[in-house]
Amino acid sequence: MLTSFQKMRKTHENNYAIYLLTDELLHIIYKKVSHIDLKAAEIIVRDRMQLQQGRELPVLCDIREVRNINKPARDYLALEGSQWITTIAFLIDPPITDVISSIYLETHPKSVPTRSFTNKSEALAFLGVEDDYNDKP
């Protein structure tokens, strides 16, 4: 936990997500909200880009609490909203977020290497990041 604390450079929170930024990774945890629409997606991307300041990073995207995200939001996240991301690992909790990530991946071109995982260590391994920090101490 100490390691993680030392490594953490910045955190940020808005109505839809919590962002944890280290030197090597951006961890985004989507909050439990009823619905992600285009407006929400724009805020999610805006805050991410402001946090990253142009630095390209792998992203661990914890979508386990997501229950509903509409098409304009999905399209925006996949196209306008995929700047400065080198790799994405979705952290999912089947069956709902499994379905959401599968449709998202199937219906959008993969400009960024993306995979879904139920296990955080495997997700971090895919992103090439050491599993030595923890957001839930």
Partner 1 sequence: MPNSDDFRVKRIHNMLLEMAKGNFFHSLEPSEKNDNIASLVVMLNMVNEEIRASFVHQGFANAHHTPQCIIQLSLLMDANGTIEMVTNGSCSLLSCLPKDVIGKGLTDLMTEISRKKWAKELSKLLKRDSSETVLHLELMTHQGLLLSNDCHISVFKSLDGAGRKILLNTVFFSKGEPFETGRPKKTMKLTKGIKEPKVILGPRDIQMIRDVHDMILNNLEKDLPQLKDLALQMGTNEYKLKYGFKQLYGITIFRCLVQERLRKTRTLIQHSDLSLKQIAHMTGFKSPAHFSRAFKDKYGLSPSELRETSR
Q: Which range, of 11-19, 21-29, 31-39, 116-124, touches partner 1 by CB under 8 A?
A: 31-39
Nearer to partner 1, 107 or 134 (CB): 107
Candidates 31, 67, 115, 120; binder of partner 1 (CB under 8 A) is: 67
Taking the complex as a whole, the smallest distance from the CB of residue 54 to partner 1 amounts, in Å, to 6
Could you say which of 3, 11, 86, 107 contacts partner 1 (CB under 8 A)?
107
Three-class SS state of 128: coil
Alpha-carbon gap, residue 126 to 112, rounded angstroms: 13
> CA separation (Å) from 89 to 7, 34, 47?
20, 23, 19
Interactions with partner 1, residue window 68-97 (CB under 8 A): 68, 70-72, 74-76, 78-81, 83, 93-97
Helices (H), 53-132: 71-78, 96-107, 120-127
The residue behind tokens 């839809």 is 16
31 touches partner 1 by CB under 8 A: no
- CA–CA dist 89, 72 (Å, integer): 21
Write out the binding residues for partner 1, residues 116-135 only, by CB under 8 A. none
Give all strands of the β-sheet with 17-21 in edge-to-edge order. 10-13, 17-21, 26-30, 57-62, 85-91, 114-117
Q: Which stretch binds partner 1 (CB under 8 A): 1-9, 15-23, 63-71, 121-129?
A: 63-71
Bridge partners for 85 per DSSP: 57
Residues that bind partner 1 (CB under 8 A): 34-35, 37-38, 45-46, 49-50, 53-54, 67-68, 70-72, 74-76, 78-81, 83, 93-100, 103, 107-111
